[in-house]
Structure 1
Amino acid sequence: MSFIKKGFLGLALLALAACDVPVETSAPLPEASSGQASQSQLSARAAARQFVDVVETVEPVAERECRARAPGMNCDFRIVIDDRPGQPVNAYQTLDKTGQPILAFTIAMIADVRNADELAFVMGHEAAHHIEGHIARQQRNAQTGALVFAGLAALTGADAQVLQNVGEIGAQVGARTYSKDYELEADILGTVITKKAGYNPVRGAAFFSRIPDPGDRFLGTHPPNAQRIEVVRQTASQL
């Protein structure tokens, strides 16, 4: 992964531009609004500069929001580019071994967003996952699911291998139980972060209209796109 953090911003910009990032998407592109070109009109270098600009603007806002909402939490976000070959359009939040929060963006994601608002919203959303403590909460849910399923299997006299298999299934079910709620929580707080950073979260949430809709599947990990867009609209209207 290519790291982007403070003094490394310019270096990362050049590295990304050198990758000759494609900027077309499979979906039809809307006309650019006045004063801001659509991402399809940006060169790889321009797309990289846009990413750096958004990082420099959103990161300090996200860190202030983190410190205000979660005192004692590590709020020193590190933004990275996941430049592994063949990675799809994606952004995700994780933690390193020291507990520092990592916000990762694939090159395909940086190339796919059509404007700075979309990129800022995705960045705010991923930062919100950390601020809301979703990784730890999901891990607790997984542990609970594993214990419940394994406990039920033990009552039937299942052997050790069956107990292990059932426990793994329970962990998966437990981890997914509240995942849709977590996504909506991140959308709400991500809207706040995006707005405070000076971007338009409603315009940013238009990103959801171009990605596959997960619908409302049982134990699905993400809520329907229309629901997410509406949550952003409602939150933005109250700011």
Structure 2
Amino acid sequence: MSANNDTIQKTITVTVLLCLVCAVVVASAAVFLKPLQEKNKLLAKQESILKIAAIPFQPEAVSETFQTVTQKVVDLRSGKFTDEVSAASYDQRSAAKDGSTSIALDGAVDIASIKRRADFATVYLVENNGQIEKVILPVHGYGLWSTMYGFLALEGDTRTIVGFGFYDQGETPGLGGEVDNPKWTGIWPGKKVFDNDFNFKLQFPKTGADRNSPDYDHQIDSLAGATLTTRGVENLVKFWLGENGFGQFLANLRAGEA
């Protein structure tokens, strides 16, 4: 009986020690790999911005090309640039979860279903001889299954779309997940988000954009079989270009008062 107990004790001891060793190995790997993971995450984000802004780049030179883009922080409460926080280190996602650096949104205005909006946002500018050629805005909002995070790039007129796309979304593959399909995002460039008086005008007809319609320049095809995801995209764009998002900033930009 004693010999049998010794065997059980040894088995338990070996199992516990093995678990401890595995835990140490996994924890160490996580610690050592975190800097590399963060670097790759940053590169992926920079690459997404360059693609959406239609800035040519070589895969091995993403960081170098991204240096041509100016990062600035906008105070969404005033619609003006601020140096209150650093563009290089500011994390808008984290700030939106902190009650001291964000505001809760009333359901009537929270059409993007984000619940809270951070006080600041990092925007990206492409400039030439002191003139803004493109402005890239971070946007996010809820689709059918997930909060979708992406960027909307506008020409310097703040009306014409340069590009649009998501770098993080969890919609249904083959349906709502088609928000990542180049065939769909390829429809966006050249479309107008505002009319001549800068009223939001972008539309998503279920039957597709109508070339014979006077609103054709404002129309984007809906995603087939993904009505709720399409509506989510429409709502998030409308929110972030409105008064509770970048609306005041864009107005200041047009007036030269940002």
User: Scaled by the length of structure 1, what TM-score is found?
Assistant: 0.27
- The higher-RCO structure (CA 8 Å, 6+ apart) is 1
Q: Which has the higher helix share?
A: 1
Q: Which has the larger radius of gyration?
A: 2
User: Scaled by the length of structure 2, what TM-score is found?
Assistant: 0.26
Q: Which has the higher strand share?
A: 2
